[in-house]
Amino acid sequence: MDKIVIRGGNPLHGTIPICGAKNAALPLMAAALLSDEPLRLSNLPHLADISTMAHLLGDMGVSIAMDGDAQDGGHMGRVFVLDASGLKSTTAPYELVRRMRASILVLGPLLARHGHARVSLPGGCAIGTRPVDLHLKALQTMGAQIELSEGYIEAHAPNGLSGGHVLFSNITVGGTENILMAATLAKGETIIANAAREPEVIDLAHCLVSMGAKIEGIGTDTLRVQGVDKLHGAKHAVVVDRIEMGSYAVAAAVTGGDVLLKGGRADLIESVINVMRGAGVEITEEPGGVRVRHKKSAILGFDAMTEPYPGFPTDMQAQMMVLASVAEGASMLTETIFENRFMHVPELVRMGANINVHGRSAIVRGVPKLSGAQVMATDLRASSSLVLAGLVAEGETVVNRVYHLDRGYERLEEKLAACGAEIERVRGEG
């Protein structure tokens, strides 16, 4: 398995291009199942999760043509044309769903367009149990018959789905996306209340509208969808990745650097920017993106609590903990979305951080320096926090299990090295 080796201490200077969002691209790819005409998606990131989704859709008979790379000064957004006219299977097998929970996003579209879907239950994952009960309950509200058998969700809607009033008891990003897609082809009106408002949900809604869907309330917590008989083909460019952008913002700040996050949009990550500014980091919007600069003065401790959008994103909690680790004074990071999302803490402690976890909160007392170590991560964002810690630590840090990073960060080591980081990937066997 590959490793990433970092010799810390270099401030980052330069430009980092920000990719299209993985978490927007995955539901957008699933949306291709809703039509028998091609959906052209551009600005797709080159990531393992995108390949897994392509593999899953390809297995079902969706043809995917790579329409070249849209090049823009070193920023290569991939273009896929997805055509589901020759669909031959409505099953999402265990081998693929196990690799990526977001495979569950094919459930709503398959059921809406084909009246049947068989999707493996995703099961647990490192950051918590992550059930899909809310997706299933909502589909039942829309008339689906659902059974769980042999580890699979067997869903039927022989006469199609019908509109209904879906009230999510908890805000769920994937659940909102699944039901939104299903509702576009349901009979009558579907109201989705307590819907997620993440930029990736909004991006999906805009794409669905350009495919002919009738959706009102985009960007609010109540979506009203009038079902239509058919969706048509469309072209859509994936929204920029706010989590990639936030991760590199922390990299710039923590190393005392000056980096332009090219293509970045401050409006998508205001909650993080506000906390970083409060900690003393300079963040400015420029015509080409967002600039993050940190002067020599110390970073100040801060508090942050994860919440659904527009609150502070859980996907930035681990990275911000690195900033807190080298801040002056104490910080508190509270996790309210996932029950087991402090797996990076013991690894950061091994690098010299002073962190105590009390229930859902981590108290971080800033230390003057971190030191390099061999570390291992259990999930995507935890891995990125270890890379960030390695950039600021004295000596050498070796991050193992790089495959987690490859799920969510395109060309991570290249982007950081181009800004002066001493970082390299060491190819491993197997």
**172 belongs to the binding site for ligand UD1 (CB under 6 A):** yes
Window 344 to 373, contacts with ligand UD1 (CB under 6 A):
none
- DSSP 8-state secondary structure symbol assigned to residue 144: -
Rounded to whole angstroms, the Cα distance separating 55 from 52 reads 5
Tokens 């990299």 belong to residue: 251
Nearer to ligand UD1, 111 or 173 (CB): 173
**134 belongs to the binding site for ligand UD1 (CB under 6 A):** yes
Which residues, at least 6 apart from 131, have a Cβ–Cβ distance to it below 8 Å? none
Cβ neighbourhood burial of 146 (10 Å; 0-12, 13-18, 19+): middle
Q: Which residue is nearest to ligand UD1 (CB)?
A: 174
Cβ neighbourhood burial of 258 (10 Å; 0-12, 13-18, 19+): middle
Q: Which of 130, 156, 293, 360 binds ligand UD1 (CB under 6 A)?
A: 130
Tell me, by CB under 6 A, how many residues bind ligand UD1: 21
Q: Which of 83, 315, 410, 413 binds ligand UD1 (CB under 6 A)?
A: 315
- Determine whether 19 is an active site residue: no
Q: Which of 86, 131, 151, 428 binds ligand UD1 (CB under 6 A)?
A: 131
Least Å distance, CB 309 to ligand UD1, is 7
Instruction: Say if CB 145 and CB 101 are below 8 A apart.
Output: no
Window 29 to 88, contacts with ligand UD1 (CB under 6 A):
none
**135 belongs to the binding site for ligand UD1 (CB under 6 A):** yes
**302 belongs to the binding site for ligand UD1 (CB under 6 A):** no
Nearer to ligand UD1, 168 or 302 (CB): 168
Q: Which of 16, 18, 26, 382 binds ligand UD1 (CB under 6 A)?
A: 26
Rounded to whole angstroms, the Cα distance separating 229 from 249 reads 44
Q: What are phi and psi of 166, to 5 degrees?
A: -100, 120
Window 186 to 225, contacts with ligand UD1 (CB under 6 A):
200
Least Å distance, CB 62 to ligand UD1, is 19
Least Å distance, CB 200 to ligand UD1, is 6
Instruction: Say if CB 2 and CB 248 are below 8 A apart.
Output: no
Instruction: Say if CB 328 and CB 299 are below 8 A apart.
Output: yes
Nearer to ligand UD1, 52 or 331 (CB): 52
How many beta carbons lie within 10 A of that of residue 370, not counting itself?
25
Nearer to ligand UD1, 129 or 374 (CB): 129
Task: Give residue 54's identity as a one-letter amino acid code.
Answer: A
**337 belongs to the binding site for ligand UD1 (CB under 6 A):** yes
Reference 298, options 281, 283, 275; nearest CA is 281
Structure tokens at 114: 């084909």
Rounded to whole angstroms, the Cα distance separating 279 from 261 reads 19
Nearer to ligand UD1, 314 or 397 (CB): 314
CA distances from 165 to 23, 183, 202 (A): 26, 11, 20
CA atoms within 13 Å, Cβ hemisphere of 290? 26
Nearer to ligand UD1, 132 or 323 (CB): 132
Least Å distance, CB 133 to ligand UD1, is 5
Instruction: Say if CB 266 and CB 273 are below 8 A apart.
Output: yes
Least Å distance, CB 254 to ligand UD1, is 22
Instruction: Say if CB 271 and CB 312 are below 8 A apart.
Output: yes
Contact segment (CB under 6 A) with ligand UD1 among 70-78, 123-131, 219-227, 270-278 equals 123-131
Letter string b/e over residues 109-137, b meaning 16 or more CB atoms within 10 A of that residue's CB = bbbbbbbebbbbbbeeeebeebebebbbb
What sign has the CA pseudo-torsion 406, 411, 416, 422? positive
Nearer to ligand UD1, 175 or 233 (CB): 175
Reference 320, options 270, 265, 246; nearest CA is 246
Nearer to ligand UD1, 256 or 308 (CB): 308
Contact segment (CB under 6 A) with ligand UD1 among 5-13, 147-155, 168-176, 228-236 equals 168-176
Nearer to ligand UD1, 204 or 231 (CB): 204
Least Å distance, CB 384 to ligand UD1, is 12
**404 belongs to the binding site for ligand UD1 (CB under 6 A):** no
- Cross-strand pairs, 375: 399
Least Å distance, CB 93 to ligand UD1, is 19
Active-site residue, from 19, 125, 207, 419: 125
Q: List residues with catalytic annotation.
A: 125
Residues of this chain that bind ligand UD1 (CB under 6 A): 23, 26, 101-102, 128, 130-135, 170, 172-175, 200, 314-315, 337-338
